[in-house]
Amino acid sequence: MPVQDADLVVVSNRGPLTIDADEEGEDRYQRGGGGLVSGMQTALSESPGAVWVCAAMRERERSIARGASGRRLSSVPPAAEALHGDFDVVMLPIDAPTYRAAYNGIANATLWFVLHMLFDSPRRPVFDARWRRQWAAYQRYNLAFAETVTQIAADNGTVMVQDYHLFLLPALIRRQRPDLRIGFFTHTPWVGPDYFSALPADVCRELLEGVSGADVVGFHTRRWADDFEACCESLLGARSRARVEVFGLRTDARELNARAHRRDVESALRDLNVAVGDRLVVGRVDRAELSKNVLRGLLAFRELLVRYSEWQGRVVHIVFDNPSREDLVEYRDYTRDVQELAENINDELGTEDWTPVLLSIEHDYPAALATLRRSDVLLVNPIRDGMNLVIFEGIVLSERSAVAVVSENAGAAEVLGSDALLVNPFDVSQTADALHRALSMPVDERAARTVGLRAAATQLPPTAWFAAQLEVVRDSDSVSG
């Protein structure tokens, strides 16, 4: 029986550790990836005694989680060694079919698509009997989290729930443990009621009421907070009972710089310099993710080379894509299309000594950091993005005062404002013009913009971001019911 002793519980689907097998079949413990995990990991480094509850995402994790005493990974020596920070981790071994239906079917293929407006509406979404079975799995998945959290949280403790996998959790926790203070933060965008209401009416209600079970609901920007409130007013007929606040996560320059100057990154940078020589670099680093809009980024780069042909031979586009969500056919197809387009551009415009697009689809953190250090222009053109932390990382790490070309639908656009060159992510010609302007920008204008960009990129680093939320959540008047 777990001990009810955690004053602070953080809850998310993905946790700070991934466990799989290496080539020899030995267990390999690695840091979990993505913006949420890295931000939270830094934030929790100053919260001794906290417990992070996450899902076991693969079979090996499920079996290790089942064997851990009190489900706590600190009882498993190699896991304890791999964890950075003074917090403990509880991994939930939810059965595989339920987990797959909840994570792939609902969180990734439905909620992520709604929140990022990714549906191909003549064909998808389809809410049918199969989808309803996945929805039931999502409900069970949220219930499993509720059961564990309510068993380990101390009296009057604080629970900080993260993201769209767990939209139902705040209300479930509140029902069982009205003594707890509950914060909910969503790292994604939100959408207005017209698009959100594509979901079945009962599902809209359950999701909005689930999130509203929190005392405080946090977003990266005002735009997403307003969209959420508009959904509550229009689809629930009332304002959310929760307090809705904005906490825009930024990056920790000191920690990032320390990581980006380790030996493995220096070596990756040397390799990169051999590959690109003294050419200018338009760089980007993303998850291989539909919403990141890499295809239109490549089209814009091609149009730049054709319409502003003086750049041919003088600039290289480095596209760094970390493989992601490969269980979903949409992601596999999209990655294939990215590969094909990059090859077409290279065949069409490349020469014997110049390859216009250097595409990597792999997990190679040192090489990704080296790309950011070497970039003259950073391209971040998502269709929609909660914030986009990579642009902040690129701004901090670029050794060439990189110009930031940023989608107006990324939360980061609200933060960076006119120091960045903002583009409509669907307007490929406008993006090509912005790349031309960025590549041609005089040194003093670059330097002046960099001052503003760096200040904005580092204004609320993870530790301060989390502390600000905790303060508001702990100060909130708990409203029960």
Q: Closest distance between ligand F6P and the C-beta of residue 386, in Å? A: 5
**Among 241, 325, 373, 449, which residue interacts with ligand F6P (rule: CB under 6 A)?**
325
CA distance 356 to 300: 13
Considering the complex, state which of residue 163 and residue 245 has its C-beta at the smaller distance from ligand F6P.
163
**Among 17, 36, 225, 369, which residue interacts with ligand F6P (rule: CB under 6 A)?**
36
Q: Which stretch binds ligand F6P (CB under 6 A): 34-42, 173-181, 249-257, 350-358?
A: 34-42
Among residue numbers 154 through 173, which ones bind ligand F6P (CB under 6 A)? 163
Considering the complex, state which of residue 12 and residue 401 has its C-beta at the smaller distance from ligand F6P.
12
Q: Which stretch binds ligand F6P (CB under 6 A): 32-40, 261-269, 273-281, 368-376?
A: 32-40
Q: Closest distance between ligand F6P and the C-beta of residue 33, in Å? A: 7
Considering the complex, state which of residue 131 and residue 219 has its C-beta at the smaller distance from ligand F6P.
219
CA dihedral (479, 89, 367, 329) in degrees, to 10, reads -70
**Among 42, 324, 431, 450, which residue interacts with ligand F6P (rule: CB under 6 A)?**
324
**Among 386, 394, 425, 462, which residue interacts with ligand F6P (rule: CB under 6 A)?**
386
Considering the complex, state which of residue 41 and residue 150 has its C-beta at the smaller distance from ligand F6P.
41
Q: Specify the length of the chain in residues.
A: 481
Which residue of the chain is nearest ligand F6P when measured via CB?
Answer: 34
Among residue numbers 2 through 31, which ones bind ligand F6P (CB under 6 A)? 14
CA distance 232 to 325: 30
Instruction: Walk across the sheet containing 377-380 and list its strands.
Output: 357-361, 315-322, 280-287, 377-380, 403-407, 421-423
Q: Any contact of residue 42 with ligand F6P (CB under 6 A)?
A: no
CA distance 372 to 200: 42
Q: What is the largest CA-CA distance in the chain?
A: 69
Considering the complex, state which of residue 9 and residue 315 has its C-beta at the smaller distance from ligand F6P.
9
Task: Tell me the backbone φ, ψ of residue 157, rounded to 5 degrees.
Answer: -75, 180
| Residues that contact ligand F6P, how many (by CB under 6 A) | 11
Q: Any contact of residue 220 with ligand F6P (CB under 6 A)?
A: no
Q: Any contact of residue 187 with ligand F6P (CB under 6 A)?
A: yes
- Residue (of 426, 409, 423, 466) closest to 190 by Cα position: 409
Q: Closest distance between ligand F6P and the C-beta of residue 109, in Å? A: 11
Q: Any contact of residue 34 with ligand F6P (CB under 6 A)?
A: yes
**Among 47, 188, 335, 469, which residue interacts with ligand F6P (rule: CB under 6 A)?**
188
Q: In Å, how far are 158, 346, 376 from 311, measured between CA atoms?
A: 55, 14, 14
Considering the complex, state which of residue 188 and residue 450 has its C-beta at the smaller distance from ligand F6P.
188
Q: Any contact of residue 419 with ligand F6P (CB under 6 A)?
A: no
Residue 97 zone, left/alpha/beta (φ > 0; ψ -120 to 50; rest) = alpha
Give the footprint of ligand F6P on this chain (CB under 6 A).
14, 34-36, 163, 187-188, 287, 324-325, 386
